[in-house]
Amino acid sequence: MTDFDPYRERRLFGRPLTLEPQATAVLVIDMLNDFCQQEGLLGNPDSLTLCEKQNQILNSVRHSGGRVVFVNEQHRPNLRPRSNFARRMSHSREGTWGSEVVASLKVEDSDIVVIKRRYSGFFDSDLDLVMRDCGLRHAILVGVLTNICVRATAHDAFFRGYDVVVPEDAVGAMSPLEQLSALYDISTHFGWVTTTAATVEALEARTPIENMDVVLSAAMNER
């Protein structure tokens, strides 16, 4: 039998994380029509089922004094990124319906919108500046895809010293295996994997967030 997790014994779960609400951003990643609607150019309608959980977090962040930041991939109509479109058809073009945030999430006046051009929300965008200018130190990540754009953003947030929180029921991947694997790597190397309920409780009752014990082997047996 294969040991799916030989690294397990060395794992450090890290300290539980206490969020300071005014220093907390929720980064809503690529919840756009082209990625989440049946008619979207790369649409996976399962993503829409995440909105209910996401809205719980967004409301909680807004009410407790943090900032909601929509991080939207968007491409210019007159410029074809050589690398980015090599593996994916053209999508999320500026000015199209596909590049808009899904209607199930509401962008409010106090929210901030950051445009990204690559998978990571931080790469050559002004997301880091927004975090610095607003005094934000904790980043809750929700959206799609867990294993591509959410994960790439988690990398870059972690590298810069932000605390990365990923509620597993508010992010979606291309497949169950990719969801599992991304959450495992995030929990072991980049941040705290948790649930929406625990995230809301952390914001509203200051309950520390425990890092989830994402288990590779057991999860595979279930499937």
Say whether residue 137 binds a copy of itself (CB under 8 A): no
Say whether residue 125 binds a copy of itself (CB under 8 A): yes
Neighbours of 74 (CB within 10 A): 21
Say whether residue 35 binds a copy of itself (CB under 8 A): no
Per-residue exposure over 125-162, b if at least 16 CB sit within 10 Å of its own CB, e if not:
bebbebbeeeebbbbbbbbbbbbbbbbbbbbbbbeeeb
Q: Which residue, 1 or 205, is less far from a copy of itself as judged by CB?
A: 1
Residue 95 CA to residue 26 CA, distance in Å, equals 25
Residue 17 CA to residue 37 CA, distance in Å, equals 34
Contact set for a copy of itself, span 166-185 (CB under 8 A): 174-178, 181-182, 184-185
Is the previous residue joined to 17 through a cis bond, with omega within 30 degrees of 0? Answer: no
Element (H, E) at 26: strand 24-29
Candidate list 36, 51, 53, 116, residue with the active-site label: 116
Residue 101 CA to residue 111 CA, distance in Å, equals 13
Q: Which residue, 54 or 122, is less far from a copy of itself as judged by CB?
A: 122
Alpha helices (H) in 37-187, listed in sequence order: 51-63, 127-133, 151-159, 176-185
Contact set for a copy of itself, span 95-114 (CB under 8 A): 109-110, 112
**With CB under 8 A as the contact rule, which of the stretches 53-61, 96-104, 150-158, 201-209 interacts with a copy of itself?**
150-158
Does residue 30 carry a catalytic annotation?
yes
Does residue 106 carry a catalytic annotation?
no
Residues with active-site annotation: 30, 116, 149
Binding residues for a copy of itself, per CB under 8 A? 2-7, 10, 12, 14-15, 42, 76, 78-83, 86-89, 109-110, 112, 115, 117-120, 123-126, 128-130, 132-134, 147-148, 152, 155-156, 158-162, 174-178, 181-182, 184-185, 188-190, 216, 220, 223
